[in-house]
Structure 1
Amino acid sequence: MAEDKKPSGSRPRREEPVAEEAVIGSAMPVQVVSAVKEVKAALPRAFTGARKDAKKFLREVLIYVALNPKAFPDDRSKKLFLLSYMTDGPGEFWKNEKTDLLLAFDANAEKVTWSEFLDDFRTSFEPLDPALKAQLELKDLKMKERADEYTYQFTYLAKQTGYNDAAQIVAFKRGLPKSLVFKIMTRPEGAPSTIKEWMNAAIIFDESYKQALEYGKTWDDEHGGKKPQRSFRKKEEVAIKQITEIDSVTLLVRSNVKLLDYDVVKKLVRFKVQSLSQN
């Protein structure tokens, strides 16, 4: 019997792709569905309604929403996300009102855009006069450990105060240690004339001082520790010791002697030497 021949030009039959399935134990197969992964970012800290924390809280919410756009497909989800991090406090009434309307799919609440919702939040919780608030915070700002950290904090607040360059210099100097201000003002090239120059000078002097301290510690370690400080005796003690070597009787006046200078000591010694020669 003649063998069947495949028609010329025929191609092997392809099998249709089958959806990948994951089998969990002996249970029924479950189709794998790829979910949208969120970016691992820090969640906003709870907001109690305090005005001083409003701007920081709103910034944290906006950062998280911006990093996870697929997790917030519409304005409604963004609003509920913000409201979920508002805890009991001064803002409880505002939170409850907004939440109830959104959960009820209120038509007017749904019409409010995300931008309008944020403006409502700012009006309700952020300080009425941000510039005045920044000025008060800047007045209390002091340098603690490092000049660069102080500079960063100062720059952030100064931008909100509306101060010009001269006013910023006054405020910046007020927050620096007095010794650091003196070093900057007495440097060979003269005192800085702009706030930027003041900031750079403060950082440079502070870093140089800290590097010198670190070098001193390293030098001490390499040379077996610090050398003992020489003990210097007071002039009165030295003078009394010299007199004692001549005659112990002169110690009777020690309680009445407040300060013995070198001329007094020489006179006492000369007097005793003359007394001894006569004897």
Structure 2
Amino acid sequence: MPSTSDVAPQDPAADPAQEAWRRLTTIEARLEHQDGQMAEIFNTFREFRLYLEQHNTPTVPRDSGPATVQPADAAQTPAHSDPLSAQSFTRGGDRLRPAPPDSFDGEREKGRAFINSCDLYMSLTPDAFPDEQTRINWVLSYMKGGRAARFAARTLRHPNSHGGVPRFGTYAEFRTQFIAEFCPRDEKRKAATTFETSAYHQGSRSVDEYIDEFWDLAEEAQFPDGAQLVFRFRHGLDPRIEAKVANIVEGRPSDERVQEWIDAARLVDYNTRAHQDFRSAVTKPRTAPAPAVRNPGAPVVFRALPAPPPRPVAAAPSAPTAPASRPLPSGVPMDIDLSRQRSGTPIICR
């Protein structure tokens, strides 16, 4: 009889009880997943009903009674979802779907664009950020790499070592520290210095590209609108465009308003390009059609000329026939010399 040590242990999966328990666990997990999907469908349906009620659209109740119209003021504001997710929000009856900012890794050249994108998102969805800490934590959630990730980690750990007090009390404090940490240092001085050089001049760039850089420098240098700003714009503009704008007789832009100079420069640049396109289209020479290109691998076929029509062959000239010899007249047989003389004597008619 074999001992208990010789019996191989049974596979737990082969036990019917454990197999049934495993299947039951799988079914429960699937039911929980389906419950989550049903909850999402229910929330979507509820938002759709609220949208119809806000737009005074008749809705049919569950009973068989007549259709009723819900007034707009009776609509309830839907519960906002997690602000960290890019959900659609309702504002003034319109559904906004702003694009969330890109992830930020701490590079200073990208810091200004990142914080501006965050400010724009929060301004479009103010109801999704009920307090200052929600705004701060939402921005921290997109700081995922490099120095930015370490900054976010320090900010989130701060309450643990300071009795629950957050590192920044307001979003304005957080934004000021963010600019100091992740935006280019001393932007005002650098922009003002750039205006004193030719680095910002238009050169071979388009007018739109020049205007974009000019506005960035003017904002960073904090130059007010006026004669000094107009002078810097004219100084960096393409001299040909600047001369055409300056020589405008009617509607010349004011030397105190830089926006008028920008609009006039764009108009002159557009008219110049349109004129160049017109002249190039009018004076374009006509070219002869290109000869057909023969495939080098194709065989060369020579076409024979048609044969000329046959010409009539002239008959060959026939040789003259000698006259038949006549018999000599009767006379002296031996008088040959006399016969020759007679044949050579001309006949004279009298």
> Where in structure 2 are the equivalents of 1:188-203 lying within 5 Å?
193-194=255-256, 196=258, 197-203=260-266
* Matching residue of 2:123: 66
Contact 1:52 1:126 in 2 (8 A): yes
Query: TM-score w.r.t. structure 1 length?
Result: 0.56
Structure 1 position 60, deviation (Å): 0.5
Q: Is residue 43 of structure 1 aligned with residue 100 of structure 2?
A: yes
Q: Which amino acid in structure 2 is aligned with residue 214 of structure 1?
A: D
Task: Give the Cα–Cα distance (whole angstroms) in 2 for the partners of residues 173 and 111 of structure 1.
Answer: 44
Change (3 A) 1:133 1:49: farther
* Matching residue of 2:171: 114
Q: Deviations over 1:20-71 (max 9, x none)?
A: xxxx9xx789465426442422221222323332222111011112223344
Runs of 5+ consecutive residues of structure 2 not aligned to the other structure: 1-30, 45-79, 81-86, 89-95, 288-350
Q: Which amino acid in structure 2 is aligned with residue 74 of structure 1?
A: D
> Where in structure 2 are the equivalents of 1:104-253 lying within 5 Å?
107-109=164-166, 112-136=169-193, 139=197, 140-143=199-202, 146-163=206-223, 165-185=226-246, 193-194=255-256, 196=258, 197-219=260-282, 225-226=284-285
Contact 2:98 2:121 in 1 (8 A): yes
Structure 1 position 148, deviation (Å): 4.3
Q: Which amino acid in structure 2 is aligned with residue 61 of structure 1?
A: C
Q: Deviations over 1:242-278 (max 9, x none)?
A: xxxxxxxxxxxxxxxxxxxxxxxxxxxxxxxxxxxxx
Contact 1:46 1:87 in 2 (8 A): yes
Greater per-residue helix proportion: 1
Q: Deviations over 1:89-142 (max 9, x none)?
A: 344432220122368996210771223222222233334433223335555334
* Matching residue of 2:54: none
Change (3 A) 1:219 1:104: farther
Give the length in aligned residue pairs: 199
Q: Which amino acid in structure 2 is aligned with residue 115 of structure 1?
A: A
Task: Give the Cα–Cα distance (whole angstroms) in 2 for the partners of residues 70 and 163 of structure 1.
Answer: 35
Contact 2:230 2:257 in 1 (8 A): yes
Task: Give the Cα–Cα distance (whole angstroms) in 2 for the partners of residues 111 and 201 of structure 1.
Answer: 46
Q: Secondary structure at the match of 1:87?
A: coil
Larger radius of gyration: 2
Query: TM-score w.r.t. structure 2 length?
Result: 0.46
Runs of 4+ in 1 over 4 A off after TM superposition: 27-32, 102-106, 136-139, 185-192
Task: Give the Cα–Cα distance (whole angstroms) in 2 for the partners of residues 134 and 42 of structure 1.
Answer: 30
Change (3 A) 1:33 1:118: farther
Structure number with greater CO (CA < 8 Å, separation at least 6) is 1
Q: Secondary structure at the match of 2:144?
A: coil
Structure 1 position 79, deviation (Å): 1.7
Q: Which amino acid in structure 2 is aligned with residue 209 of structure 1?
A: T
Runs of 5+ consecutive residues of structure 1 not aligned to the other structure: 1-23, 229-279
Deviates most, 65-74 or 204-213: 65-74
Q: Which amino acid in structure 2 is aligned with residue 216 of structure 1?
A: R
Task: Give the Cα–Cα distance (whole angstroms) in 2 for the partners of residues 82 and 102 of structure 1.
Answer: 17
Task: Give the Cα–Cα distance (whole angstroms) in 2 for the partners of residues 105 and 64 of structure 1.
Answer: 31
Q: Which amino acid in structure 2 is aligned with residue 171 of structure 1?
A: R
Task: Give the Cα–Cα distance (whole angstroms) in 2 for the partners of residues 188 and 114 of structure 1.
Answer: 51
Q: Which amino acid in structure 1 is aligned with residue 112 of structure 2?
A: K
Percent of aligned pairs with the same amino acid: 22
Contact 1:134 1:158 in 2 (8 A): yes
Structure 1 position 145, deviation (Å): 5.0
Structure 1 position 207, deviation (Å): 1.5
Q: Which amino acid in structure 1 is aligned with residue 43 of structure 2?
A: S
Contact 2:230 2:261 in 1 (8 A): yes
> Where in structure 2 are the equivalents of 1:260-271 lying within 5 Å?
none
Q: Secondary structure at the match of 1:34?
A: helix
